[in-house]
């Protein structure tokens, strides 16, 4: 909500992707007809208005059952101090002009908005719990995780090893410049013996009204650039990354790596090298596993897949990596031959069908090439 009229505007409304963490696996609130759970957030500081509406509700006389206590379920997520009255909420909205982003400004960028016919400015900040008012703001911000990340949980904000990166949109209201929350990322700094840290991306969310505009890529690249300047950082990882996050990371890391000398077309055709691992880690804080994916994507760009020899060379190179798990199975099988009785061995062999392995390998390769092509298409448009 930026303006009072937004309260009645369906265009500013978005629905949760998940509600199982609040309402159970069936995502059902029992005992209501026409139930609406209404959560309004002021765009900048995220002050909250919470209301429940319904046309009717079962009572205990109806088969001795009670309706679910929806209000207490929501209260468990949203921090205290929220409004239940629209007038109180609108009066808070008038004070929004005083809200300013927390922490240190890291990056400013603009995105062209077709609907508005103008460029809109966005800023990325790094904050921590010492910033006045940030703890309370973060309590409100993290409530979105429950609705948009499938396995979300709230973090221990008293642990000083957390870093917070925030994206804000700058907009004008009655001649003043205001800020709207776009998204954020939390990063935990793990200790690596003897004197390094390994930042691990924990949570990353761009709010639905802003998705598909490139903010995730801007945020991840900014975070990488922030840590790149630190001599104590070993490399950057992610905790249990989603499929969409992996695609985003592929794009950002390829964009960062493509100008390194070790990834020049002449070096790429010679195969994956220790030089690539060293340079990507030292200059960009990228680990070996992610560097290998970057190499495969950039080598695909440097390969003429219409040329039989080049195509075969690329396919074999990628499949040699993909075959690792299958090779492990073969080693396990060799051990079984020495240890198992014939009938037990037959049972294990039935589970390791070589033809099926070849089919799975080819399927994995084709899927990978398809994903890599999408990264390269996006890179060409960037």
Catalytic residues: 239
27: left (phi over 0), alpha (psi -120 to 50) or beta: left
> How are beta strands 162-173 and 118-127 bridged, if at all?
antiparallel
SS3 26: coil
Q: Which two tokens stand for residue 94?
A: 């008038």
Cα 269 to chain center, whole Å?
32
CA atoms within 13 A on the CB side of 302: 18
Rounded Cα distance between 39 and 34, Å, is: 16
Residues 6+ apart with CB under 8 A from 279: 260, 261, 262
Phi then psi for 53, rounded to 5 degrees? -130, 145
243: left (phi over 0), alpha (psi -120 to 50) or beta: alpha
Measured in Å, how far apart are the chain's first and last C-alpha atoms? 31
DSSP-assigned letter for residue 83: B
Q: Which two tokens stand for residue 123?
A: 């800023």
CB burial of residue 58 (10 Å; 0-12, 13-18, 19+): middle
299-305 contacts: CB < 8 A, separation 24 or more?
A: 299/268, 299/269, 300/369, 300/372, 300/373, 300/376, 301/376, 302/265, 302/268, 302/269, 303/269
Residues 6+ apart with CB under 8 A from 67: 30, 31, 32, 57, 58, 59
Rounded Cα distance between 331 and 313, Å, is: 26
Rounded Cα distance between 37 and 52, Å, is: 5
Other beta carbons within 10 Å of 4: 12
């Amino acid at each position: 909500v930026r303006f009072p009229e937004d309260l009645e505007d369906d265009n500013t409304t978005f629905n949760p992707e998940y509600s199982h963490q609040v309402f159970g696996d069936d995502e059902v609130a029992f005992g209501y007809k026409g139930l609406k759970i209404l959560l309004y957030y002021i765009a900048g500081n995220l002050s909250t208005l919470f209301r429940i509406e319904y046309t009717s509700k079962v009572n205990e006389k109806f088969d001795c059952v009670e309706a679910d206590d929806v209000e207490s379920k929501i209260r468990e997520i949203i921090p205290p101090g929220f409004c239940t009255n629209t007038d109180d909420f609108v009066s808070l909205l008038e004070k929004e002009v005083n809200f300013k982003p927390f922490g240190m400004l890291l990056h400013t960028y603009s995105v062209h908005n077709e609907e508005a016919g103008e460029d809109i400015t966005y800023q990325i900040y790094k904050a921590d719990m010492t910033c006045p008012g940030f703890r309370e703001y973060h309590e409100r911000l993290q409530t979105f995780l429950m609705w948009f990340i499938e396995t979300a949980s709230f973090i221990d904000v008293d642990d000083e090893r957390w870093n917070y990166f925030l994206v804000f949109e700058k907009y004008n209201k009655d001649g003043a410049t205001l800020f709207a929350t776009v998204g954020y990322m939390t990063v935990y700094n793990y200790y690596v013996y003897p004197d390094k840290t390994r930042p691990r991306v924990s949570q990353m969310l761009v709010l639905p009204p802003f998705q598909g505009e490139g903010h995730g890529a801007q945020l991840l690249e900014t975070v990488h650039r922030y840590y790149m300047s630190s001599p104590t950082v070993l490399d950057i990882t992610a905790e249990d990354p989603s499929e969409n996050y992996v695609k985003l990371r592929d794009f950002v890391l390829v964009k960062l790596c493509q100008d390194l000398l070790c990834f020049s077309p002449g070096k790429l055709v010679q195969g994956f090298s220790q030089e690539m691992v060293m340079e990507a880690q030292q200059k960009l804080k990228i680990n070996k596993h992610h560097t290998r994916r970057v190499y495969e994507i950039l080598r695909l760009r440097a390969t003429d897949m219409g040329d039989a020899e080049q195509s075969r060379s690329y396919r074999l190179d990628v499949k040699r990596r993909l075959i690792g798990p299958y090779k492990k199975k073969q080693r396990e099988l060799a051990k079984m031959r020495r240890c198992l009785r014939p009938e037990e061995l037959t049972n294990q062999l039935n589970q390791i069908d070589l033809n099926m392995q070849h089919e799975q390998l080819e399927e994995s390769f084709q899927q990978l090439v398809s994903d890599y092509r999408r990264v390269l298409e996006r890179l060409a448009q960037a």
